[in-house]
Structures are given as C-alpha cells and as structure tokens.
Amino acid sequence: MSQQFDVVVIGGGPGGYVAAIRAAQLGFSTACVDATKNPEGKPSLGGTCLNVGCIPSKALLQSSENFHAVQHDFQKHGISVDGAQMDVAKMLARKNDIITKNAGGIAFLFKKNKVANVHGLGSLKGRQGDKWLVEVTDNGVVVDTLEATHVIVATGSSPRQLPGLPTDNQIVLDNEGALALAEVPARLGVIGAGVIGLEMGSVWKRLGADVTILEAMPTFLAAADQQIAKEAFKTLTKDTGLDIKLGVKIGEIVKGDKGVTVNYELNGEAVKAEFDKLIVSIGRVPHTAGLGAETVGLQLDERGFVVVDDHCLTNLPNVWAIGDVVRGPMLAHKASEEGVAVAERIAGQKPHVDFGVIPWVIYTSPEIAWVGKTEEQLKAEGIEYKKGTSGFAANGRALGLGQAQGTVKLLACAKTDRILGLHMIGPMVSELVTEGVVSMEFKAASEDLARIVHAHPSLSEVVHEAALAADKRALHG
Ligand code: FAD
C-alpha cells in the first residue's frame, strides 16, 4: 500500500531538504526522496552542495590555504615550520568527515521535524484522483510508492561534459573527481575558468601542482564587475600562480593511460599541452534523468530546465520545481530560498525571493564576491551612477591578518543615492558581501551605509570607506 503525504520533495540538496523541513514546519505531512549515496554506498543527504560541491570544496580550499600559509606566511609572524608536509589522504578524510557530519545533521533535522526520509530515485508516475504518484526505486528495484497532494522537484544539476570526452574521474575529472584526487598531480589542466575551475585550480596549485586553466571566453569572469575581475586575474595569475589562458579554442583531446593531451589554439597558434589530470568545469546542466518528466508531461525548456513561473509552479497542477533544475543562478542559497518560498506558498502565504539581490562568491584567495549590478550593466542600461572604491592595503585588521590586498567598490544611483551594487575582492569578502545584501534589501542609500558605525579594526571598515567615497567623503582615501 502506498504512503500518503501532503508534500513529496524529490531531491535532498539545499533546495529539496530545506523545502521539506519548511513544509513539515508548516504542518504538512512531508517526505523527501533522495538518491545520493556516499562512496561507501550509504544514503547521504545534502545533494551536490554537501556531497560533491560547496562544502567539500571549501574544506579543501581551507586545507590547501593552511598549507600555503605554513610555507609562505608563517615566517613573517616569526614562526618557523621546517619541512611541512601535506598528507593528502588525511586532508580528504577531514573533508569526508565534514560531509558525513553535515549529512547526519540533515537526517537529524528530518527526524526532528517528522520529515519521512526516503532513500532512492523518485519518479513521477501519474495521477490517481487528485494525488500524484511517486515511485521510488533503489538499484532498479521498486522500494516504495508515495502519494502526494503536492510534489516539489529539486533534482539539481550535473556537470556538463565535453562532447566525445566522458569523465572517468581517474584522468578526466568532473567536480567529484577533482575533490577526491588521492595525490597532487604534477601537471593539472582545467578547462573552464568559472567558479569551480578557479576554486579547484587554487586547491591543487597551493598543494604543488602546475595548473593551467584554459578558458574559451576572451573576458575573465565576464559576469563580474570588470574592475574587480581584472584585479582578480592579476592576483590569481601572479600571486596564486595559476596559468590562466583566455580566448582558447579547444581542439582534439587525447586521453592516454597516464594522462591527457589537449590540443588548443591561442591567438592563432596551435598548442599541444600534456597534463596528468584534466578537470572539465564548463558549467552544469539541469538533472531530470529518471524523474519521469515525459511520463507525466512535465514541461522542460530547450536546455532541459524544468519550466516554472515566478512562483516555481510547473505546467502541472501542484507540481513545483526549485534550485538548479530551474532557471536562475545555480547557487545553493538560491535553491534554499526557493524551497522555503514554495513550502510557504503551498501553505497559502505570499513569500518572495528577490533575484536582483543574490550574492555571488568565489572562494579563491583572496575571495571575490558581489551583489547587484556591475558597472558594465549600469552603463548598458543607461543608469546614471556614482561609485566609491576603497582598498584593504591600509586596513589595520587586514594587515594584522597578513591579507592586506583587494578592493571594495560600491555603486549607487546618481539621483537617489540608492545602492545598486557592491563588488569586492579581498579577505573574507564572502562574509562582507552580506552587508551589501542587507543594505540593498532595505533599499539603503550609500549615505546610510556611510553613516553606520563599523567596528574598528575590522575588514568591514573597507565597505564603510567605499560608501563614504561614493559620497565624496572618504577619510582614508
Ligand atoms: P542538488 O544539490 O544538485 O541536489 C539534488 C539532489 O537530488 C541530489 O542529491 C540528487 O542525487 C537528487 N536527485 C536527482 N534526481 C533525483 C530523483 N529522480 N530522485 C531522487 N533524488 C534525485 N553553490 C553555492 O551557492 N556556493 C558554493 O560555494 C558552491 N560551490 C560549489 C562547488 C562545486 C564544486 C559545485 C559542483 C557546485 C557548487 N555550488 C555552490 C552549486 C551548488 O552545489 C548548487 O547550486 C546546489 O547544490 C543546488 O541545489 P539543488 O538542491 O537544486 O540540487
């Protein structure tokens, strides 16, 4: 006999598990079906983000940053650490512990909120009266059938593959393989200078690999404000030592037993590069395999995304979709906010997700973060603006941290002074960008931010100073 629920969520990533918890909190009987298993074959909630994305990548970034600091920065503090060694297996074990701990935390929250935790692949099978039928299979065997009044599809995304070059996660790696390399490769190639390519390239570079990043676009970080992107390019090539080649035309790639040869064209010249490992990070595609979209007539667009309206409702009654599998930025926090909003909408509330104020972060060293419009976008849209910039070079806290490098740029409307964008590169800007998010959500003016007392000494003083600069009142500029 099938189990009946008010809400069945398919996918237990940051979109799905958050939607399930919120739905349960609102009084709905809720189940979450998730297919992810950890390398030991055990169910592991948290989706791409926890298992092979945001969290493990940040764990490895921190380990590699520590190793780099021991080698290059500790001496300046008067600390000598001779013969520092990197134990990659231990680093990976630490990363895996973090995943296991957090996945267990989600399972605990499911129990606490009475969300039924169903492991397996969820497939939409059709309608029975006013209920949707979701069949759950594990290793091809039907283990459950759930009836749901509402279904929330949160099946996420998968790495885009290069045509004719499937990843094997031995030599040609996607994010999963890039986060699990058993040893540091001598020569690492990365195709794609996006967020994932830059973060993964940084990890293995700091651990000793020779890293070459090949990017098809002639512009570095085209989505970012170009002043910040240019500074990032300089720092990542000069200080981090990443060899980033822009405007590359990838040709034939030949995989051997011990490595890979990438033929490419750069500035009209043919180049043949040999790598021990190759990370392919050319974006991600929506994941709907096994969902049963065709069976029930769930509408997908030409790129495979589930089509939704502004409220995340699909073309089918009471079937919603959120996160990476629908339009919009592929970010964990966007997925979670949509999950909350859908659960609340099912409950008859009127939630809102502000797509204009979603923060972006790249966790390189220094970090890069932004929210709102770039200077290029404002120019293209003909919006008159003013800007204020300030640097970390003379900031006392940044100097103490030994990370006195980077810039904050604030953009505000020339007429109303309302903050339109905040762009930064520097230490811990992943945290500082929230100041811009909060300000923009409260429709603050640059003067508001400039008149708010900021703690001293703190990195946030640079944001304060950028706001003062926008008002031509900079004190340290
Ligand atoms: P997912 O997290 O992909 O979860 C989908 C889940 O659904 C998976 O567990 C999958 O197994 C399951 N599933 C799929 N189909 C079915 C089915 N039919 N039945 C049952 N289960 C199914 N974003 C950030 O915001 N910050 C970061 O720092 C960041 N770093 C990243 C680093 C890397 C290396 C990668 C790859 C991604 C990163 N992202 C980051 C992106 C982030 O991981 C995604 O935006 C986020 O995970 C999307 O959440 P989601 O819930 O939509 O889907």
Instruction: Give the atom of ligand 1 at the shortest distance from the alpha carbon of 325.
Output: 52
Backbone angles phi, psi at 155, to 5 degrees: -90, 0
Is 198 near ligand 1, meaning CB less than 6 Å away? Answer: no
Is omega for the bond preceding 366 within 30 degrees of 0, making it cis?
yes
Average pLDDT of the residues in 241-257: 97
Closest alpha carbon to 9 in 104, 82, 113, 97: 113
One-letter identity of residue 352:
H
Q: Which residue has the tokens 């609102």?
A: 26
Ligand 1 geometric centre to CA of 91 (Å): 23
Binning the chain into helix, strand and coil, the percentages to the nearest 5 are 35, 30, 40
Q: Which amino acid is at 285?
A: V
Ligand 1 atom with least separation from CA of 333: 25
Tell me what pLDDT residue 477 has. 74
Residues 6+ apart with CB under 8 A from 11: 32, 33, 34, 47, 122, 153, 154, 155, 156, 323, 325
Q: What is the pLDDT of residues 333-345, one digit of tens each?
A: 999 999 999 999 9
Quick one: pLDDT at residue 418? 98
Distance 257 CA to ligand 1 centre (A): 31
pLDDT value of residue 295:
97
Q: How far is it, in rounded angstroms, from Cα 311 to Cα 21?
A: 19
Q: What is the spatial distance between Cα 383 and Cα 459, in angstroms, rounded to a whole number?
A: 30
Section 293-306 average pLDDT: 98
Q: Label residue 302 exposed, middle or buried (CB < 10 Å: 0-12, 13-18, 19+).
A: exposed
Mutate to test the pocket of ligand 1, among 45, 125, 153, 155 (most ligand atoms within 8 A of CB): 155
Cβ of residue 14 lying under 6 Å from some atom of ligand 1: yes
- The average pLDDT across 355-381 equals 97
The gap between the terminal CA atoms of the chain, to the nearest Å, is 71
CA 306 – CA 312 distance, rounded (Å) = 10
346 closest CA partner among 311, 309, 374: 311
d(Cα 120, Cα 33) in Å, to the nearest integer? 6
Ligand 1 center from residue 411 Cα (angstroms)? 32
Tokens of 240: 């981090």
Strand, helix or coil for residue 453 = coil
Point out which residues pair with 134 in neighbouring strands: 124, 146
Distance CA 438, CA 171 (A): 43
Q: Are 18 and 332 contacting, i.e. CB atoms less than 8 angstroms apart?
A: no
Does the pLDDT at position 83 exceed 70?
A: yes
Residue whose Cα lies nearest atom 43 of ligand 1: it is 49
DSSP letters along 57-106, please?
Answer: HHHHHHHHHHHHHHHHTGGGGT---TT----HHHHHHHHHHHHHHHHHHH
* The pLDDT of residue 228: 98
Average pLDDT for 241-260: 97
| Residue 37 DSSP code | B
For the CA of 48, the nearest atom of ligand 1: 2
| Confidence band, pLDDT 50/70/90 cuts, at residue 2 | confident
173, 277 contact by CB (below 8 A)? yes
Q: Is the CB of 155 under 6 A from ligand 1?
A: yes
Residue 174 CA, ligand 1 centroid: distance in Å? 14
Residue 71 carries which side chain, given as an amino acid letter? Q
Q: How far is CA 11 from CA 16, 31, 176, 241, 471, in A?
A: 5, 10, 18, 38, 47
Q: Is 203 in the pocket of ligand 1 (CB under 6 A)?
A: no
pLDDT of residue 342: 98
Mean pLDDT of 191-213: 97
Regarding pTM above 0.95, the answer is: yes
Which among 150, 456, 464, 476 is annotated as catalytic?
A: 456
The residue among 86, 92, 62 whose CA lies nearest residue 364 is 62
Report CA(398)–ligand 1 centroid distance (Å): 33
* Position 95 confidence tier, pLDDT thresholds 50, 70, 90: very high
- Residue 384's identity, in one-letter code, is E
* Location of structure tokens 């031995």: 170
pLDDT at 1: 63
Report the pLDDT averaged over residues 403-427.
98
The amino acid at 112: K
Residue 456 annotated in active site: yes
pLDDT exceeds 90 at position 476: no
Mean pLDDT in residue range 176-200? 97
Q: What is the CA radius of gyration of the chain?
A: 24
pLDDT at 420: 98
Ligand 1 centroid to 362 CA: how many Å?
Answer: 17
What does the pLDDT read at residue 133? 98
Residue nearest to atom 45 of ligand 1 (CA): 331
- 464 with 381: CB under 8 angstroms? no
Q: What is the average per-residue pLDDT within 436-452?
A: 97
Q: How far apart are CA 235 and CA 257, in angstroms?
A: 35
Q: Does ligand 1 have an atom closer than 6 angstroms to the CB of 323?
A: yes
CA dihedral 235, 237, 241, 246 (to 10 degrees): 150
Q: What is the mean pLDDT of residues 153-166?
A: 96
- Ligand 1 neighbour 368 (Cβ under 6 A): no
Beta strands in 217-268 (DSSP E): 243-245, 249-255, 260-266
Q: Provide the pairing of β-strand 385-391 with 367-372.
A: unpaired
C-alpha 331: how far from its chain's center? 5
Q: What is the pLDDT of residues 251-298, one digit of tens each?
A: 999 999 999 999 999 999 999 999 999 999 999 999 999 999 999 999
pLDDT in tens, 118-152: 999 999 999 999 999 999 999 999 999 999 999 99
